[in-house]
Structure 1
Amino acid sequence: MARVLIADDEESMRVMVARAIALDGHDIVTAQDGAEALEILNDKGAFDLLLTDIKMPIMDGIALALAAAQQFPGLTIVLMTGFADQRERASGLDAIVSDVIRKPFSVAEIRAAVAKALAGRS
C-alpha cells in the first residue's frame, strides 16, 4: 500500500485521520506542523501522499505544499481545512495539489479522498 504523511496541529484530527487511512492498509507517519512534516520528508523521503491541514503554526500547509512539491515533484498532495478563506488561498495551487478536503469530514469521506488521490497518481 501507500506511504502517507499526515500533518495536522490538532492531535485528535491527526489520530482520527491516521486511524481511518490505516484501515486501508497504508503506512502512516504523522507530524504536528508543517516544519516537522518537511523535516520528515527530507529525512525519510519516498512518501506517496502528503495529507496536510492548511492552518497550522510554524509552517502552514500551503507553505509545506509549495516546499514539498518543489523538493519532491512526484508527491501527491491533499490539503484539509475547515476555513473558507483557507480554501480560497489553496485555489491557486491546482498544479501541485490534488484535492482540498473540507473539515469536518467523516472517516468514509477521508478514506475516499485518499483513495481517489492515490488512484490519480501518474
Structure 2
Amino acid sequence: PAPDRPGRRPRGDQPGRILLVDDEAVVREVLAGQLEDAGFAVTQAADGTAALAVLEAGRCFDILVTDLAMPGLDGVALIRAAQRRKPALPAILLTGYAGDAATLAVGNAVGGRFVLLRKPITGAELADRVASILEAAEPAVTTG
C-alpha cells in the first residue's frame, strides 16, 4: 500500500492469512473487507464452531481474530481450542466490554498467545495490529 494509506502489508510476498470470527455478519464483513484492502487473505466464520471446523479441515492461518461474546463457543473457548490444535497460533480477541476486571478475567481464562482489543475498532487499526503481530512472529518455515 501507499505510505499514506492506513494498514501495512504483511511480511514477505504472501498475504497474512486471517481467520476472522464474529457472529454479527455486518461487523465481520466490514472488518474482512478492510483487512483484505490492507493486503490480508481473510477467511470468515460466523461462530466458534464454524471456525473450529475450518481449522480441523486443515486450513492454515497466521492469526485468529475473534469476537469475545458469541453464542455457543465464545472467543475465549475458541482461542483455547484453536491453540490446543496449533500452539503457535497468535490470536486477537475483540471485546466491547470495558474495564480492567474484564481484561484480567479474559487474560486468566485464555493463557497462550493473544492480544485483547476493545471495540469499536476500525479495519485499519485492526490491520495495523495484525501486521505488528505477524512481523513480530518468527518467520514461517515452508517445505515443498
Q: Same fold (TM over 0.5)?
A: yes
Taking only aligned residues, the RMSD between alpha carbons, in angstroms, comes to 1.5
Q: Between Structure 1 and Structure 2, whose CA radius of gyration is higher?
A: 2
Higher helix fraction: Structure 1 or Structure 2?
1
The residue that corresponds to 2:69 in the other structure is: 55
Local SS of the residue matching 1:5: strand
Are 1:6 and 1:51, in contact at CA under 8 Å, matched by a contact in 2?
yes
Are 2:31 and 2:122, in contact at CA under 8 Å, matched by a contact in 1?
no
The residue that corresponds to 1:115 in the other structure is: 131
Are 2:38 and 2:124, in contact at CA under 8 Å, matched by a contact in 1?
no
Are 1:5 and 1:50, in contact at CA under 8 Å, matched by a contact in 2?
yes
> Which structure 2 residues correspond to residues 16-31 of structure 1 after superposition, within 5 A?
16-31=30-45
Structure 2: runs of 5 or more not aligned: 1-14, 139-144
Structure 1, 10-19 or 111-120: larger mean CA deviation: 111-120
- Under a length normalisation based on structure 1, what TM-score does the superposition of the two structures give? 0.90
Local SS of the residue matching 1:95: coil
Instruction: Using the TM superposition, give the Cα deviation of residue 94 of structure 1 relative to its aligned residue in structure 2, in angstroms.
Output: 4.8
Runs of 4+ deviating beyond 6 Å: none
- 1:80-122 C-alpha deviation (Å, 9 max, x unpaired): 010136534322235321x111000123211111111211212
- Under a length normalisation based on structure 2, what TM-score does the superposition of the two structures give? 0.77
Instruction: Using the TM superposition, give the Cα deviation of residue 9 of structure 1 relative to its aligned residue in structure 2, in angstroms.
Output: 0.5
